[in-house]
Structure 1
Amino acid sequence: LQNGLCALLISDLNYLDGAPASSEEEEEDNDGGSEEGSDEYDDSGAEIEDGREDDDECDEGDESEDSDGDNEDFNDSDDSELEELAEKEETRKRGCSEKQVLSFLEFLTRCVSKYSSCLVVARPAWEGTARTNCSSSWADHPSCWYSVTSSACELLMSPWCFFVAVVFMGSLKYPDENGFDAFLKKHGGGDNASTDCERTVFQFDVQRKYFKEALDRWAQFFIHPLMIRDAIDREVEAVDSEYQLARPSDANRKEMLFGSLARPGHPMKKFFWGNADTLKHEPKLNNIDTYTRLREFWQRHYSAHYMTLVVQSKETLDTLEKWVTEIFSEIPNNGLPKPSFGHLTQPFDTPEFHKLYRVVPIRKVHSLTITWALPPQEQYYRVKPLHYISWLVGHEGKGSVLSFLRKKFWALALYGGNGETGFEQNSTYSIFSISVTLTDEGYKHFYEVWCCTKRACLKSTFIIFLLCRIWEEIQKIEANEFHYQEQTDPVDYVENLCENMQLFQKEDFLTGDQLLFEYKPEIIADALNQLSPQRANLVLLSAANEGQCHLKEKWFGTQYSMEDIDRYWSDLWDSDFELNQDLHLPEENKYIATDFALKVADCPETEYPVKILSTQQGCLWYRKDDKFKIPKGYVRFHLISPLIQQSAENIILFDTFVNILSHNLGEPAYEADVAQLEYKLVAGEYGLIIRVKGFNHKLPLLFQLIIDYLSDFSFTPAVFEMITEQLKKTYYNILIKPETLAKDVRLLILEHGRWSMIDKYQTLMKGLSIEALSAFVSAFKSQLFVEGLVQGNFTSREAKDFLNYVVQKLQFAPLAHPCPVQFRVVDLPNTHLLCKVKTLNKGDANSEVTVYYQVTGCRHCHFCCNFVLFQMHMEEPCFDFLRTKQTLGSELVDRKIEEFLSCFEEKIKDLTEEAFSTQVTALIKLKECEDSHLGEEVDRNWNEVVTQQYLFDRLAREIEALKSITQADLVNWFQAHRSNQRKVLSVHVIGYGKHEGDSEMTAVSGQNSSSGEIPHLVLLPPSSLMSDITSIKDIKAYTSTLNVLPYHKILK
């Protein structure tokens, strides 16, 4: 544009011959969406499932929210080292074949217009998607934020994070503080914003009909934001709350500690988060006007020529160009050159960086992270040297470093590479790190583990100069994935392209992050040569470090110590020691697909899965893909056993069994994972869930490998001890989070006969025997009922082979009695209950409030649709009321929730017919939109199978139910459950702090007590603010007096 903004426009190219789609088709596809989430499970391995959120849809246990019954909340996904490593590993799996580069037209045709109404994977209703990327340079923030003394510059170091929240609170043209969010929610859309070291990202999506107006409303925030003083003051409190929530995260704590090692004056040494002290109290003390500084910040950094914009819609390119030119040309250009930071390279070339840091974590974990700070590597994006090195260092198959460490029982997981976040890769440096999750024994030998990683680097050097086979194999694997990739969520797609426009040349906007264009071993070798012991930083996380860490990081309070790296091990790294014979190059990968032909159907095509096999031992549901036409398949099996829920010990034995099975598969299944075949083992409440997906050509090989290892399951005492110790840490890490503890307490009250996480942890701490596990596994495999679902590019005959292989290999007997999958909850009394407990983490000041409203009588889709419609109406005003306008303590929050619902009752009564109809239409369009990719359809169908409801046309039934719902129905439904007879359960988890009556000494001394025992729950009395409610003083005693509601399947 004339103001310097660079925009990329994407139209749904569903009429390549130049003829527009028919008006009938366009009307049909005008809006659309899907409420289903995608099935992106890239963390192959075992997963512990505990408790299902069955009350989110209907609190009688009638429906499940999760396609597997595996609840992600209890998997410690936020901070788990294993999860972090898996996520980072996935970010490195990029396409790498120049031969596979598609033309702009071909690429968009496949990724955008597979279905004319399907533009988003997770929520395909969004027919207009936009994203802008403002290149906001962190290195310049402090100086532009302040024109006062350097000490004052230290006070407000996070204006970009703060500004992101403030800038959206009204504009000159649209002054309503919450108007944009309300507009998007009303029309089935949403928005988000995020910050990184050098870039700030804004994005939104909305139904096509309202896309132009949304663009205009959105652009006004960059043209003339109001930034009201009162809103700024309130947002400080919200930012401070987010900072407090972030403090107990080991990942955040490590990042802040790492940044503190940068040389003085470098922006990496700054405080990235912002809190009440840095954004309010200290500026006030230093006579700094926050409002004025925000205005200056906006004028300096939100300039059009720093920005890139990507817009995707079903409108024509001509229409999009007209809109974008008309709307975004008004964004001001300050005429200042974009800051350059070439003079700020090598921020970690300091004596403090090249040390061993022992750190006390929040969680129970042993991990070793070796980090090198290299010169910026972004300029080598066509070579991607760190990606190539990470593929070799992080290999987990036979002959790998991880395989060697696992055989010595020193490590559970290993990741090597660069996460490509702004923190790890920017214009001043690039990080290469090797992170190893250690066992207890590995912690004792961490220096040996460090030296083992050198072998991986040496091996990588040999491969670079002596072998091209590995590179060609990587190329082939990732080229296959690139060529046959499924449709991308447009929100993610435009976000990715918008950042690409900041990083790559114009011709590489679409492919710069996916393809490896050039093989230049000298560039890769140059990066490898910098991975020397003299340049390394070692961070050793362990609760065992407590007592020897006397230093404390300023912002997150992380306890740590600093010492020189042992000279003996440093010299050993430098020496030419002989490579262990167990370490060798990866063998040729037999899982790489070569046949991509689409199968010819051998049975009539059906719209929904059909049961094609049924015996006393199991049944199989099947549907051949006739929509997406890709050479991929999805296979899911549920091995059901009544044995699991018979005792807390059985649940623990089952978790142990699944984790050992996953450990056993780690090495042999890694080649399949590298070849883009994914698997997951889930320890469900009723059985073992096996999920595999990928290219159908070699998918049966992976499935058979899993069943073979299940059939021939074995373990050594050393593996048993290693896995049980890790399981203790997993349970502990779940319990110390206030949100997961609150959920555990709530479900303990609601679910009859439930074994709580505390019960399981304490049972595990008492000890398990090898004999008990062996007996359990034998009993589990002896009697089963197996249900499966096969979808994709398979014939019905091939689908049957999956179930037949399970039955033939395991040789199990049918269950003596049926084991129905059902979830039942207690019938709460007609009153307000409160269960108030103390958090189990003495270093966490955060509290959690959950208010559960039990609604009985859910028997049909019409009833459930009221839930969803009510949620859509309430979501945005609830967020605005509780998060934006209220900053309160736990019991005040509970009262404010009630206050909000009372106000909302009046609001819903006053809804105009037009407003109600708009919301209903938006929800219908969400459900009407076709699936964006095969995984969405499989997720939805699998949910019907795993919950044994089999209502595969549920979406169609819900659409019909929504068409018949009136505003009076919704009001009556809401009032019926807001009467004096309502059933309410509040669960409060109270954090530690002086405001809760805890002494400062208690909070500090227990801050990192992750090695201690988990105590019994401490139930607290209610304060005077909630003296009128019924307090639960003994959970088991109280719930034993309650009746259990009958289980109902919602089948009509």
Structure 2
Amino acid sequence: MLRRVTVAAVCATGRKLWCEAGRELAALWRIEARGRCEDSAAARPFPILTMPGRNKAKSTCSCPDLQPNGQDLGESGRVARLGADESEEEGRRGPVSNVGDPEIVKSPSDPKQYRYIKLRNGLQALLISDLSNMEGKMGDATDDEEEEEEEEEEEEDDDDDDDDDDEDSGAEIEDDDEEGFDDEDEFDDDDDEHDDDDLDTEDNELEELEERAEARKKTTEKQQSQSLFLLWSKLTDRLWFKSTYTKMSSTLLVETRKLYGVVGAESRSAPVQHLAGWQEEEQQGETDTVLSAAALCVGVGSFADPDDLPGLAHFLEHMVFMGSLKYPDENGFDAFLKKHGGSDNASTDCERTVFQFDVQRKYFKEALDRWAQFFIHPLMIRDAIDREVEAVDSEYQLARPSDANRKEMLFGSLARPGHPMGKFFWGNAETLKHEPKRNNIDTHARLREFWMHYYSAHYMTLVVQSKETLDTLEKWVTEIFSQIPNNGLPKPNFGHLTDPFDTPAFNKLYRVVPIRKIHALTITWALPPQQQHYRVKPLHYISWLVGHEGKGSILSYLRKKCWALALFGGNGETGFEQNSTYSVFSISITLTDEGYEHFYEVAHTVFQYLKMLQKLGPEKRIFEEIQKIEDNEFHYQEQTDPVEYVENMCENMQLYPLQDFLTGDQLLFEYKPEVIAEALNQLVPQKANLVLLSGANEGKCDLKEKWFGTQYSMEDIENSWAELWKSNFELNPDLHLPAENKYIATDFMLKAFDCPETEYPVKIVNTPQGCLWYKKDNKFKIPKAYIRFHLISPLIQKSAANVVLFDIFVNILTHNLAEPAYEADVAQLEYKLVAGEHGLIIRVKGFNHKLPLLFQLIIDYLAEFSSTPAVFTMITEQLKKTYFNILIKPETLAKDVRLLILEYARWSMIDKYRALMDGLSLESLLSFVRELKSQLFVEGLVQGNVTSTESTDFLKYVVDKLNFMPLEQEMPVQFQVVELPSGHHLCKVRALNRGDANSEVTVYYQSGARSLKEYTLMELLVMHMEEPCFDFLRTKQTLGYHVYPTCRNTSGILGFSVTVGTQATKYNSEVVDKKIEEFLSSFEEKIENLTEDAFNTQVTALIKLKECEDTHLGEEVDRNWNEVVTQQYLFDRLAHEIEALKSFSKSDLVNWFKAHRGPGSKMLSVHVVGFGKYEPEEDGTPSGEDSNSSCEVMMQLTYLPTSPLLADCTIRVIDIRAFTSRLNLLPYHKIVK
């Protein structure tokens, strides 16, 4: 499938080191704040980290001043004067017209105005005014708004002194927003624009992609930009990217967690199945708000690391935000943003480093000034270095168990000696602290030297977006950013280091031992840099064909042979895959067990397809089809989150000329067959690198990669195959080009209303078999529609075996649809199948013209479901791997354990794994599906450019085609939750991956069945808690990289928690638990001393977040669907929450917190303990030997004894079933009053 790779992609790879913590949580904040945080186990995945309509064609070959075509942008735009007054006078366009630069080509549906300026110090800036005519005026704030702002600023001034006392923590910008909301029901409410978040990111492998991230929970992690190599790994967990240069086919089983939010990557129309019983919604994801935002790209990255200080560029990205001369508080900027509903983040790529933030509009100018000081005069004090090295080291430790990261490091090691690809970009305590000390290297001095050399204004591109006039933005930018120094030094250039992989070691077969259970084959070519061909996008053309899933495609053929489950082909457009020295083209295939045995035949199929393309040459019909689809998407594109948008644009400014800032990464401009052929003809077997990933390689690999400990072997390609590939081998008659696409929309007319306009969805059908909610779009006015249905059945949760059969059913259904639905998928009609806790969720969206065809196709295949024995075996074997790969992650195991304790009758992932290992038959599956389809209740929501009459046809088609009976009685779509007894309960278990030192500690406080008002108060509490939590537990105590409080709604039962991801090589989990309690005690004192003004400021910030308008239709649909799928139907929830917020006083907050922390509090600690010296084995011997595989681990919980630190104050849980069987059940509860 074609997947756009977005900057918000989430991989934790060295190529783009996202310092996880910024926007994901902030995004989460906003999503939660805007009412999408219903603890839904089925809801969102990442990271992430996903950007609608963003397909970055990224490279790092051009400097800020000189674009690929040699155009000097400084001559194309206006030059801003250094003096603010002069700047305001020169070329002023006036607040009434607010007209942007006509040279900048934008979408007809884009209401924003753009202006390019270049400051005297060489910094280039793109100003974006998102004022719209609908607002009635094109000026700045109204007089009333200005008066209100002045009053609030006066209040803030009074509070500043109090806040400053608490802001000397030193938290870095990247981890700005880690507070979260964990919705643990069953519904997958991912924003359709960010579907990838559903999977995880960090190592979900499609993990990093997206988990984005936990993403969610941890979602605060900084989405790491996703690489192709990251992707290959994620293939098994089915995470998707869409990129102009990338295509991915897959029917893989999905993990529904959003681990690190992974941000991440957008799943444009991926048919992703979720696994029933594992869909806890931890709402971190893309933001719904229209805050003001800014991003700055420095045209330098990890390629510039000195040889004796690996990871220095990444470390500087951390350190630069720890206070400035003008604003010296280490954590002052983060505290300022959190107070005003904002977030920040940063990432380091190979040749670029990006920083971004967002904040409420009225505080944007002050935020710009605070932020700019980090580039003007950062403090980077010596005392902060050791503390922040620990944060970088924790980030590295979290990344080590990722197969994606391991594979990427291994690939980089194949480059010629001296090429920067061979560097260790991450950095850790050894490279940044211990080794420098041994060699008498002053890291602090070198850090300052690096900053002075590379953080120069003429390397920088800046983008700001706000509801201000362009003149106002120009005045602010000129006034503030002209102070950034320009050292006049030439920008580092690596373009001369060409052909880095033209070595004897490249065209070999590498066998690699993975962490996860997976069979995967990756075939990679290193091509000359392709950025210069962005107008043709040859790799996009090739990936479109290679990643096709229709008849005649590689994947279609391999699926029929039962050799492959998924295929991803293309270039991920990260700095690792595309830079000034080379561009990668890679094809990653997730193999079945049988496919692993025939991996040479699989590779031969790929080479046959490429030879067929080379023989036929580029086809204009194919190019124009791709071009048309991209044109349609661009013409009718929806708006995206400002912080993601400015992040994308500041990188685009480094890559494209002025007129193509907005289009360069999206459109195909010119058909040049010779350019496409030149790239295509290099994809031959003699230049390919083969990597075979499998647990079966264990014991056969005698080499070990230095930084991640990856076990691998290198061997010549088997002689018979090598000789065949050198010959003029025959083509495969089953492989051919795709036919003309019948799903491409041609009718873009907006439909007239056939019923009264409504603000919220209305129920237009209500029968015993189902009901339908409908709302026609009257705001965004685009020719698109969203269709969502929930097919509910009580059969699913009757046994662990039934839950597994349901997972198998949804995955086989998706497998069956992959080929016939693929044409719709690439034509911007997107679908996703989710195995919810209590039913099948079907999501379809895209241009409404051909959308009914896709919906009917899905229902037809559902009605006529069938499976061959071979497909059944293939899917069940892959499902075993998927369950296993979920369980070996400490963070997902911790979640599974916590929900197993709290939710009555929940089947854990271990229960499901055992049921699957016990054996299930095809006959049992077909019998289950027949019974499932015989009795259902169907609930749907249709929104967009569709009439009510057309909408009822969708429900009618489902009912008529499936011909089911109604349920005998109404069925709740949530679990009952146990009532925890008073006291501190501790469940401590051993992690399941012996090679992983990472531990996860969560301290949870149960509140109970509460009102909407109390839920909103808990949101406010977590918002207050997040920054001091990060400051105390991460910055000061250095306990771990992931540190965050979470607002939890577990099947309608409220609670809050604090989570720390740490390492057993550094801390005992009980020490971390005690430190969390120490923090909560200090937090109680902090809120008691909070001034009324400071309290009111935070209330106002949360209200503003809830009042923010949706940026695109998908966000409105997500919020409404969450009400439908949880059967709460409170569509005006935001208004009720805002009303509740206005009624709160500081005493309400303090009293609520004290009540839940007092003697009668209900507290549960869940520790998943990694392997390391501070967590010895049960026999007392140290653990923590580096291991590459966990494939032989027994899937069962090992309960560990409590250390003396907590032994006297906790009640130990050593048998979850026995413990919960004695507890009372709370009634079903919905938060609607």
Structure 1 length normalisation: TM-score? Answer: 0.91
Amino acid at match of 2:121: N
Relative to structure 1, the CA distance from residue 160 to residue 493 in structure 2 (aligned partners, 3 Å threshold; closer, same or farther) is: same
**Kept after mapping to 2: 8 A contact 1:611/1:620:** yes
Aligned equivalents of 1:457 and 1:727: distance in 2?
31
The 5 Å alignment of 1:62-101 reads 66=189, 75=199, 77-80=201-204, 84=231, 85=235, 89-92=241-244
Deviations 1:190-238 (A, max 9, x none): 1000010000000011111111111111011111111111111101111
Is 2:885 the counterpart of 1:885?
no
**Kept after mapping to 2: 8 A contact 1:121/1:933:** no
Name the one with the larger helix percent: 1
- What is aligned with 1:960? 1139
The secondary structure found in structure 1 opposite 2:663 is coil
The secondary structure found in structure 1 opposite 2:911 is helix
The 5 Å alignment of 1:55-454 reads 66=189, 75=199, 77-80=201-204, 84=231, 85=235, 89-92=241-244, 122-142=286-306, 153-154=307-308, 156-454=309-607
Is 2:904 the counterpart of 1:904?
no
Identify the range of structure 1 (488-497 vs 715-724) with the bigger mean alpha-carbon deviation: 488-497
**Kept after mapping to 2: 8 A contact 1:677/1:693:** yes
Is 2:951 the counterpart of 1:772?
no
Aligned equivalents of 2:1151 and 2:1176: distance in 1?
44
Aligned equivalents of 1:780 and 1:324: distance in 2?
60
Relative to structure 1, the CA distance from residue 753 to residue 1023 in structure 2 (aligned partners, 3 Å threshold; closer, same or farther) is: same
Aligned equivalents of 2:337 and 2:856: distance in 1?
47
Deviations 1:37-63 (A, max 9, x none): xxxxxxxxxxxxxxxxxx98699x899
The secondary structure found in structure 2 opposite 1:7 is strand
Relative to structure 1, the CA distance from residue 937 to residue 30 in structure 2 (aligned partners, 3 Å threshold; closer, same or farther) is: farther
The 5 Å alignment of 1:828-907 reads 828-858=980-1010, 860-888=1011-1039, 889=1067, 890-907=1069-1086
**Cα offset for 1:572?**
2.1
**Kept after mapping to 2: 8 A contact 1:62/1:1048:** no
Is 2:705 the counterpart of 1:553?
yes
**Kept after mapping to 2: 8 A contact 1:416/1:434:** yes
Aligned equivalents of 2:480 and 2:1107: distance in 1?
31
**Cα offset for 1:823?**
2.6
Amino acid at match of 1:1044: L
Aligned equivalents of 2:811 and 2:903: distance in 1?
26
Deviations 1:863-891 (A, max 9, x none): 11101111111111111111111134222
The secondary structure found in structure 1 opposite 2:499 is coil
**Cα offset for 1:18?**
11
- What is aligned with 1:976? 1155
Amino acid at match of 1:318: D
- What is aligned with 2:1198? 1018
**Kept after mapping to 1: 8 A contact 2:512/2:691:** yes
- What is aligned with 1:8? 126
The secondary structure found in structure 1 opposite 2:1217 is helix
Aligned equivalents of 1:741 and 1:452: distance in 2?
38
Amino acid at match of 1:336: L
- What is aligned with 2:1223? 1042
Which one of the candidate residues 532, 536, 543 is aligned to 2:684?
532
Relative to structure 1, the CA distance from residue 554 to residue 57 in structure 2 (aligned partners, 3 Å threshold; closer, same or farther) is: closer
Identify the range of structure 1 (447-456 vs 292-301) with the bigger mean alpha-carbon deviation: 447-456
Deviations 1:61-80 (A, max 9, x none): 89979469999999555434
Relative to structure 1, the CA distance from residue 952 to residue 772 in structure 2 (aligned partners, 3 Å threshold; closer, same or farther) is: same
Identify the range of structure 1 (998-1007 vs 396-405) with the bigger mean alpha-carbon deviation: 998-1007
Is 2:655 the counterpart of 1:503?
yes
Deviations 1:875-929 (A, max 9, x none): 1111111111113422221111111111111111111121111111111111112
Relative to structure 1, the CA distance from residue 2 to residue 997 in structure 2 (aligned partners, 3 Å threshold; closer, same or farther) is: same
- What is aligned with 1:111? none
Amino acid at match of 1:132: L
Deviations 1:643-698 (A, max 9, x none): 00000000011101110001000100100101000111111110111000001111
Amino acid at match of 1:1036: R
Relative to structure 1, the CA distance from residue 1002 to residue 471 in structure 2 (aligned partners, 3 Å threshold; closer, same or farther) is: farther
Relative to structure 1, the CA distance from residue 825 to residue 474 in structure 2 (aligned partners, 3 Å threshold; closer, same or farther) is: same
Aligned equivalents of 2:881 and 2:520: distance in 1?
13
**Cα offset for 1:28?**
11
**Cα offset for 1:17?**
12
Higher RCO (CA-CA < 8 Å; seq separation 6+): 1
- What is aligned with 1:1030? 1211
**Cα offset for 1:488?**
1.7
Aligned equivalents of 2:285 and 2:385: distance in 1?
35
The secondary structure found in structure 1 opposite 2:986 is strand
Is 2:629 the counterpart of 1:473?
no
Relative to structure 1, the CA distance from residue 336 to residue 281 in structure 2 (aligned partners, 3 Å threshold; closer, same or farther) is: same
Deviations 1:494-520 (A, max 9, x none): 111100111112222121111111111
**Cα offset for 1:980?**
1.0
Amino acid at match of 1:1015: M
Amino acid at match of 2:1196: H
Aligned equivalents of 1:510 and 1:1000: distance in 2?
60
Amino acid at match of 1:951: L
**Kept after mapping to 1: 8 A contact 2:609/2:732:** no
The secondary structure found in structure 1 opposite 2:669 is coil
Aligned equivalents of 1:483 and 1:121: distance in 2?
26
**Cα offset for 1:1013?**
4.9
Number of residue equivalences: 991
Aligned equivalents of 2:935 and 2:191: distance in 1?
21
Deviations 1:958-989 (A, max 9, x none): 11111111111111111111111111100001
**Kept after mapping to 1: 8 A contact 2:566/2:591:** yes
**Kept after mapping to 2: 8 A contact 1:130/1:312:** yes
- What is aligned with 2:91? none
Relative to structure 1, the CA distance from residue 934 to residue 25 in structure 2 (aligned partners, 3 Å threshold; closer, same or farther) is: farther
Identify the range of structure 1 (972-981 vs 886-895) with the bigger mean alpha-carbon deviation: 886-895
**Kept after mapping to 1: 8 A contact 2:936/2:965:** yes
Aligned equivalents of 1:761 and 1:512: distance in 2?
46
**Kept after mapping to 1: 8 A contact 2:523/2:587:** yes
**Kept after mapping to 1: 8 A contact 2:516/2:1189:** no
**Cα offset for 1:574?**
3.3
Is 2:785 the counterpart of 1:633?
yes
Which one of the candidate residues 822, 829, 851 is aligned to 1:699?
851
**Kept after mapping to 2: 8 A contact 1:451/1:572:** no
Sequence identity percentage: 73
**Cα offset for 1:140?**
3.2
Gaps of 5+ in 2: 1-118, 150-178, 208-230, 248-283, 1040-1066
The secondary structure found in structure 1 opposite 2:1157 is coil
Relative to structure 1, the CA distance from residue 25 to residue 490 in structure 2 (aligned partners, 3 Å threshold; closer, same or farther) is: farther
- What is aligned with 1:566? 718
**Cα offset for 1:945?**
0.7
**Cα offset for 1:745?**
0.6
Which one of the candidate residues 1176, 1181, 1187 is aligned to 1:1007?
1187
The secondary structure found in structure 1 opposite 2:820 is coil
The 5 Å alignment of 1:41-52 reads none
Deviations 1:14-48 (A, max 9, x none): 249996359669949999xxxxxxxxxxxxxxxxx
**Cα offset for 1:459?**
3.1
The 5 Å alignment of 1:641-680 reads 641-680=793-832
The secondary structure found in structure 1 opposite 2:566 is strand
Relative to structure 1, the CA distance from residue 928 to residue 19 in structure 2 (aligned partners, 3 Å threshold; closer, same or farther) is: closer
Deviations 1:107-152 (A, max 9, x none): xxxxxxxxxxxxx99435453211100011433321xxxxxxxxxx
The secondary structure found in structure 2 opposite 1:666 is helix
Aligned equivalents of 1:242 and 1:596: distance in 2?
47
Relative to structure 1, the CA distance from residue 10 to residue 375 in structure 2 (aligned partners, 3 Å threshold; closer, same or farther) is: same
**Kept after mapping to 2: 8 A contact 1:405/1:449:** yes
Relative to structure 1, the CA distance from residue 139 to residue 1000 in structure 2 (aligned partners, 3 Å threshold; closer, same or farther) is: farther
Deviations 1:780-825 (A, max 9, x none): 0111110011111111110000000001001111112221212321
Amino acid at match of 1:793: N
Is 2:1100 the counterpart of 1:921?
yes
Aligned equivalents of 1:531 and 1:922: distance in 2?
54
